[in-house]
Amino acid sequence: AIARITGREIVDSRGNPTVEVDVELTDGSLGRAAVPSGASTGAREAVELRDEDPGRFHGKGVQGAVGFVNGEIADAVLGLEAEEQAVLDGVLIELDGTANKARLGANAILGVSLAVAKAAAAAHRLPLYRYVGGVDARLLPVPMMNIVNGGAHADNPLDFQEFMIAPIGAATFAEAVRMGSEVFHTLRRDLLAAGHSTAVGDEGGFAPNLRTADEALEFVLGAIERTGYKPGQDITLVMDPATSEFFRDGVYDYTGEGLRRTVQEQVDYLADLVARYPVASIEDPMAEDDLDGWRLLMTRLGDHCQLTGDDVFCTNEALLREGIRTGVANSVLVKVNQIGTLTETLATVGAAHRAGYTVVMSHRSGETEDTTIADLAVATGCGQIKTGSLSRSDRTAKYNQLIRIEEELGAQARYAGREALGLRR
């Protein structure tokens, strides 16, 4: 049973405060979880509670959320069985009492939910991926590595937020990391040679002074080729334009490029990029408020491109179900802090799988050394993880954890490869 809960305020990869929770069970087992934080958040995400006290951390303090962990939440969950995750999460949701965890904060609730799961895994002497996923949890995800950063994650004029490489042709996860690292370093050299900055953005990808997706894709494609890999075969391209950030008054407002695209023009533009570059997956190609645009794009590209909903679903099972019913996206991004409990996260993954949607486990742009999502990617067998570039320990920590999991699984481990994205060949 849960014997002790300790919340504290720590700092994340952007130097902003976030919640960390330690849980101790009566048998002495320990679990610790730290909560991530987004910059380009969906409007319907669970609420991240901040103190709004300008005298501390520019208003971003989380002493209030930590206070709830150590007070109300601890009072409600001490004595509960750690293995009864659904019961625990139900208690947390009911104690909060709002539809979006606005009272106690999804940051307070998620910290407790994940720390309890990790303590329970420790009590069973199981790694988290096996505790959550069972003996069948042995599929290592394809990493989507974000090597060029723009949008809300960098100060450059790039309108699109993320340009990623996915080593679908690797034989193992460790090999995928090697391939990604090699391309990352080739790209660094190429950018330097072209007179660009090689400073990195929030997710560890380069943030060169580029304006258009074409320019970024050319650099990434060139780096793949110059490293000796076949684009589309060994390594495919993935983008997250994060369009909710620049959809205004019914049009897509490309401030970096200095032009606007109507919904139809946005669809045509993306279809053109997919025709000219080996892009296998696009996340938030259309904005969270542009469901008609989403359906238009699905008709146009849905059969041969993974179209992943992030802001439009917010890891929320109800929003996902509505999207499944109405033909929005064919894939869902899963971010634990968008919904706030492990149980709800797993429910969303289950709903996606039953509808034939693919699932991408994901970090946030604000991260910590916590590697829970690496285990959850294997636990759910989702086959894909998005967790940043091949630099910055907050990003590489997840890749390193997956390397360890692959080693531990030994001959049982299977790398998801190209089928994970719904690609047939």
The reply, when asked if residue 310 is annotated as ligand binding, is yes
Lookup: tokens for 238:
């993935």
The reply, when asked if residue 364 is annotated as ligand binding, is yes
Q: Annotate 66-94 with b (16+ C-beta within 10 A) or e (fewer).
A: bbbbbeebbebbeeeebbebeebbebbbe
Minimum CB–partner distance for residue 323 and Zn ion (Å) = 15
Query: Which of ligand PGA, Zn ion, none sits in contact with 396, Cβ below 5 to 8 A by type?
Result: none
Minimum CB–partner distance for residue 313 and Zn ion (Å) = 11
Burial of 267 (0-12, 13-18, 19+ CB in 10 A): buried
Residues 305-364 that bind Zn ion (CB under 5 A): 310
Closer to ligand PGA by Cβ: residue 60 or 138: 60
Q: What angle (nearest 5°) sits at the alpha carbon of residue 316, between those of residues 309 and 5?
A: 125
The window from 77-85, 169-177, 295-303, 362-370 that contacts ligand PGA (CB under 6 A) reads 362-370
The window from 30-38, 71-79, 239-247, 407-415 that contacts Zn ion (CB under 5 A) reads 239-247
Among 13, 243, 365, 387, binds ligand PGA (CB under 6 A): 365
Closer to Zn ion by Cβ: residue 82 or 352: 352
For position 39 contacting ligand PGA by CB under 6 A, the verdict is yes
Residue 228 neighbours by CB distance under 10 Å:
11
308 contacts 360 by C-beta, under 8 angstroms: yes
State how far the Cα of 195 lies from the Cα of 155, in Å rounded to an integer.
17
The window from 33-41, 101-109, 110-118, 172-180 that contacts ligand PGA (CB under 6 A) reads 33-41
Minimum CB–partner distance for residue 45 and ligand PGA (Å) = 8
For position 202 contacting Zn ion by CB under 5 A, the verdict is no
The reply, when asked if residue 283 is annotated as ligand binding, is yes
Among 240, 245, 317, 375, binds Zn ion (CB under 5 A): 240
- Beta-carbon contacts of 37 under 8 Å, excluding residues fewer than 6 positions away, are 12, 14, 16, 18, 48, 107, 337, 364, 365, 366
Binding mask 128-157 for ligand PGA (x = CB under 6 A): ------------------------------
For position 48 contacting ligand PGA by CB under 6 A, the verdict is no
Number of residues engaging ligand PGA in binding (CB under 6 A): 11
Minimum CB–partner distance for residue 85 and ligand PGA (Å) = 25
Residues 300-329 that bind ligand PGA (CB under 6 A): 310
State how far the Cα of 156 lies from the Cα of 167, in Å rounded to an integer.
26
Give the DSSP H/E element, type plus range, for residue 401: helix 393-409
Query: Which of Zn ion, ligand PGA, none sits in contact with 389, Cβ below 5 to 8 A by type?
Result: none
State how far the Cα of 72 lies from the Cα of 64, in Å rounded to an integer.
11
State how far the Cα of 346 lies from the Cα of 310, in Å rounded to an integer.
16
Closer to ligand PGA by Cβ: residue 36 or 232: 36
Among 13, 29, 40, 266, binds ligand PGA (CB under 6 A): 40
Query: Which of Zn ion, ligand PGA, none sits in contact with 387, Cβ below 5 to 8 A by type?
Result: none
Work out whether the CA dihedral 332, 338, 339, 344 comes out positive or negative: positive
Q: Is 206 helix (H, G, I), strand (E, B) or coil?
A: strand
Amino acid identity of residue 371, one-letter, is T
The reply, when asked if residue 335 is annotated as ligand binding, is yes
198 contacts 192 by C-beta, under 8 angstroms: yes
Minimum CB–partner distance for residue 161 and ligand PGA (Å) = 6
Residues 155-194 that bind ligand PGA (CB under 6 A): 161
Residue 171 neighbours by CB distance under 10 Å:
10
Rounded (10°) CA dihedral 366, 415, 270, 223: 80
For position 38 contacting ligand PGA by CB under 6 A, the verdict is yes
State how far the Cα of 195 lies from the Cα of 121, in Å rounded to an integer.
50
Residues 221-260 that bind ligand PGA (CB under 6 A): 240, 242
Question: Which residues line the annotated binding site for (2R)-2-phosphoglycerate?
Answer: 161, 335, 364-365, 386
Which positions lie near ligand PGA, rule CB under 6 A? 38-41, 161, 240, 242, 310, 362, 364-365
Question: Which residues line the annotated binding site?
Answer: 161, 240, 283, 310, 335, 364-365, 386
Question: Which residues line the annotated binding site for Mg(2+)?
Answer: 240, 283, 310
